[in-house]
Amino acid sequence: MKLLAISTAVLMGTALASSAQAQQYQMPMYPQAYAGADAMFWELDPDQGSSADSVGLRLNGGMQFNDYFGAEAHLGTGGSDGATELDYLVGAYAKGILPVSQEFRLYGLAGFTEVDFDADSESGFSYGAGGEFDVAPNLAVGADYMRYLDESAYTFDAASIGIRYRF
pLDDT digits (tens, 9 = 90+) for 124-144: 999 999 999 999 999 999 999
Q: Which one of 3.40.50.1100, 2.30.30.60, 2.40.160.20, 3.30.10.20 gives the CATH number of domain 32-166?
A: 2.40.160.20
What type of residue is 111? G
Kindly state the average pLDDT of the residues 140-158. Answer: 95
Can you tell me the distance from the alpha carbon of 164 to that of 3, in angstroms, rounded to the nearest whole number? 52
- pLDDT category, 122, cuts 50, 70, 90? very high
Tens of pLDDT, residue by residue over 4-42, are 444 444 445 544 444 444 445 566 788 999 999 999 999
Distances in whole angstroms, Cα of residue 99 to Cα of each of 69, 137, 151: 11, 16, 32
- Which phi and psi angles does 152 have, rounded to 5°? -65, -30
Residue 25 is predicted with a pLDDT of: 57
Q: Where are the domains of the chain?
A: 32-166
7 Cβ contact list (under 8 Å, min separation 6)? none
Three-point CA angle 98, 163, 57, nearest 5°: 115
Q: Quote the mean pLDDT of the chain.
A: 87
Q: Spell out the alpha helix ranges (H) of the chain.
A: 2-24
Q: What is the pTM of this model?
A: 0.80
Tally Cβ neighbours within 10 Å of residue 80.
15
Tens of pLDDT, residue by residue over 52-81, are 899 999 999 999 999 999 999 999 999 887
